[in-house]
Amino acid sequence: MKIFKMPKAEPKTIQELMQRAAALAGLTLGEVAELAHVKVPKNFKREKGWTGQLIEFCLGASAGSKTQQDFAKLGIELKTIPIDEQGKPLETTYVCFAPLTNIAGIEWQTSSVKNKIQQVLWVPIDGRREVAPQDRCIATPFLWSPDIEQDNQLRSDWEELMEMIALGQIENITARHGQYLQLRPKAANGNALTEAVGKNGQVINTRPRGFYLRKEFTGEILQAFFNSDKSGY
DNA sequence: CAGTGATCATTT
DNA sequence: AAATGATCACTG
């Protein structure tokens, strides 16, 4: 049984990060919140990113809204993911904003999506709505990098979506496009607007969009890990 | 407004 | 019941 202690600084090595993460396994959000001296919301209607921020804090990620990975030095992105009793994801996973202008010449290999998910520290957490947030248990965190097949799956979807954007078809893209990577609105509300390319190449205003990993995709990642999990948790 | 962290809630 | 489209809080 590992005892979790709040970190004072950013982890300097992957080993240090993974040790901190491993120490969170089995704890409830309520227990972790107490260690962090914060209150657990009764629901997430008004604090949707609460869990992610808590885990960031617990692992020593530097706060702020940077476009880079959470642990840039280590090249690792942190993602909490809500799961059900079978370990299946309950929500899609937000990756990053989609560029809607000046996208000529942009490529998968250097894209924000590719960069963000090169190496992810997944922290699966019970996300069942029938369980009170304070009682939701943290499962075993694990490190993942896309294999060739997964990279190809995402690249294929990404190229399809980016081509539509480049051709001024942004308004025709729905969340139904993309088998593993989808494009959905990502904003504070429906009034938020940003520039994009219209049907005839003109500048139009549209709702900002973000890339999301479908549950089918993250579900396979989780399943692959749980099937080989030797942690005994 | 753009970006971080995501889940909510209406529609299908 | 599941997925899409909408939304919440906070920081530069």
pLDDT at position A8: 84
Which residue segments constitute the domains of chain A, with CATH numbers given?
Answer: 14-226 (3.40.600.10)
Q: A57 near A36, Cβ under 8 Å?
A: yes
pLDDT band at A231 (very low <50, low <70, confident <90, very high): low
Burial of A122 (0-12, 13-18, 19+ CB in 10 A): buried
Q: Determine the nucleotide nearest to A100 by Cα–C1' distance.
A: B2
A230 touches strand C (CB under 7 A): no
Which residue minimizes Cα–C1' distance to B8?
A45
Question: For residue A93, which of A228, A212, A230, A224 has the smallest C-alpha distance?
Answer: A212
Q: A172 near A166, Cβ under 8 Å?
A: no
Interatomic distance A217 CA / B9 C1' (Å) = 23
A57 touches strand B (CB under 7 A): no
Which residue minimizes Cα–C1' distance to C12?
A65
Residue A111, SS3?
coil
- The pair of structure tokens assigned to A109 is 């290999």
pTM: 0.96
Which residues are A194's β-sheet partners? A206
Question: For residue A103, which of A156, A163, A171, A187 has the smallest C-alpha distance?
Answer: A163
Task: List chain C nucleotides near protein: any atom < 7 Å from a Cβ.
Answer: 3-12
pLDDT at A34 over 80: yes
Helix H or strand E segment including A225: helix A215-227
Question: For residue A217, which of A16, A79, A20 has the smallest C-alpha distance?
Answer: A79
Share the mean pLDDT of chain A: 95
pLDDT band at A62 (very low <50, low <70, confident <90, very high): confident
Share of chain A above pLDDT 90, in %: 89
**Contacting residues for A156 by C-beta, under 8 A, at least 6 apart:** A179
Question: For residue A214, which of A177, A159, A185 has the smallest C-alpha distance?
Answer: A177
